[in-house]
Amino acid sequence: MIIEPRMRGFICLTAHPDGCAQNVKNQIEYVKSKGKINGAKKVLVIGASTGFGLASRITSAFACDAATIGVFFEKEPAPGKTATPGWYNTAAFEDEASKAGLYAKSINGDAFSNEIKEQTIELIKKDLGQVDLVIYSLASPVRTHPVTGVTHRSVLKPIGQTFSNKTVDFHTGIVSQVSIEPANQDDIDNTVVVMGGEDWKMWMEAMKKAGVLADGAMTLAYSYIGPEVTEAVYRKGTIGRAKDHLEATAFEITNDLSTIGGKAFVSVNKALVTQASSAIPVIPLYISLLYKTMKEKGLHEGCIEQMQRLFAERLFTSNEIPLDDKGRIRIDDWEMRDDVQEVVKELWKIAETDNLPTIGDLAGYKNDFLNLFGFGFEEVDYQKDANEMKMISSI
């Protein structure tokens, strides 16, 4: 079928299998161009189909020659109806891994459930025995708790007071004022249950108990800090509380893994256009100003550049992993550079609908957003019939 982008709010309802494959191929090419990394050889990625998780899987496979198992929650295709992008990304990833002689299998289901944890552990036992790296890269608005059965929903709200600031609708380019009412305690608690560290810890406990973690195994989850302008709605808001919890959980997991010499880390990554970040008010305006500034300074990175640098220059060097004063890995160092943040801060003050296309990288934002769904790649002929029924080999 001919597949075109169909936008609704912050999401695109369609995805292009060939465009998603192109996206994956471009990421693989980038990683290969940077050379091999002497990293983990058996890797589980939870949240492996899009964004930072996909880039982590690609880096593990194509820079470290690792066998990878990917867990994610994507919608498969039906005749006349496209799958979600993560489905097509994974189908393409597995094809490329297979051509390169690399083991790659995937599990599609709710990672928060006991069933998917058990299924993953069984697959590791059967095929790999143990893993030496576990990447935890879930981004979800909802989690059904496996013990209580209660479904919790996360919210993106400030804490303590109403937050008012500028935001942009990146589809129309209109800059407007947004006001978000503060969260109540339930909002905060629910967001921590969904995006905090409890599920990460449950994964690591279950895997340790099952004996599928190698001695010295490492696990890594991703966090964000960001600048002052987004602080009220991000780091000091409900999602920030969840990230505080996630970061604190790393120390608990390290403690739990001490008997096998394992360690848990949180890496603070750069703000990037992903399905998760597009839904956060204020962030798209910040990202479009940030992209413009970082591109002008030659510092811009996407998910794959971030993950390649994380692996090559933080995780797998001959030195100890460098950490900040709160024990976190920082790969948002270029985003947070003073010279970058000073420019963004000044641009923020003057940003409005008329000047955003010039002072910000709205075009870059839109293009990255389209790319997430497999659209906007010049190598792909979008007038050509595409096979929406593209399947993942291992599923």
Ligand X SMILES: NC(=O)c1ccc[n+]([C@@H]2O[C@H](COP(=O)([O-])OP(=O)(O)OC[C@H]3O[C@@H](n4cnc5c(N)ncnc54)[C@H](O)[C@@H]3O)[C@@H](O)[C@H]2O)c1
Catalytic residues: 234
In whole angstroms, the minimum distance from the beta carbon of 222 to ligand X comes to 3
Q: Pull the structure tokens for residue 348.
A: 């923020």
Residue found by looking up tokens 């909002």 in the block: 187
In whole angstroms, the minimum distance from the beta carbon of 138 to ligand X comes to 4
Residue-level length of the chain: 395
Helical packing angle, 51-64 and 303-310, nearest 10°: 50
Nearer to ligand X, 48 or 356 (CB): 48
CA distances from 381 to 5, 13, 18, 187, 196 (A): 14, 19, 9, 45, 41
- When asked if residue 376 is in the footprint of ligand X (CB under 6 A), the reply is no
CB contact at 8 A, 61 and 151: no
- When asked if residue 222 is in the footprint of ligand X (CB under 6 A), the reply is yes
Which residues have C-beta within 8 Å of that of residue 207, sequence separation ≥ 6?
121, 124, 131, 134, 213
From 12-20, 108-116, 177-185, 379-387, give the range in contact with ligand X by CB under 6 A: 108-116
Out of 23, 274, 308, 371, which residue is the one contacting ligand X (CB under 6 A)?
Answer: 274
- When asked if residue 269 is in the footprint of ligand X (CB under 6 A), the reply is yes
Out of 17, 19, 39, 51, which residue is the one contacting ligand X (CB under 6 A)?
Answer: 51
In whole angstroms, the minimum distance from the beta carbon of 384 to ligand X comes to 27
Core vs surface per residue 332-355: b (16+ CB within 10 A) or e: bbbbeeeebbebbeebbeebeeee
- When asked if residue 280 is in the footprint of ligand X (CB under 6 A), the reply is no
One symbol per residue from 122 to 161: x for binding ligand X (CB under 6 A), - otherwise; what is it? ---------------xxxx---------------------
Nearer to ligand X, 62 or 224 (CB): 224
- When asked if residue 48 is in the footprint of ligand X (CB under 6 A), the reply is yes
One symbol per residue from 181 to 200: x for binding ligand X (CB under 6 A), - otherwise; what is it? --------------------
> What would you report as the CA-atom Rg of the chain, rounded to the nearest whole angstrom?
20
Residue found by looking up tokens 């209580």 in the block: 148
Q: Which residues bind ligand X (CB under 6 A)?
A: 47-53, 71-74, 86, 110-112, 137-140, 222-224, 269, 271-272, 274-277
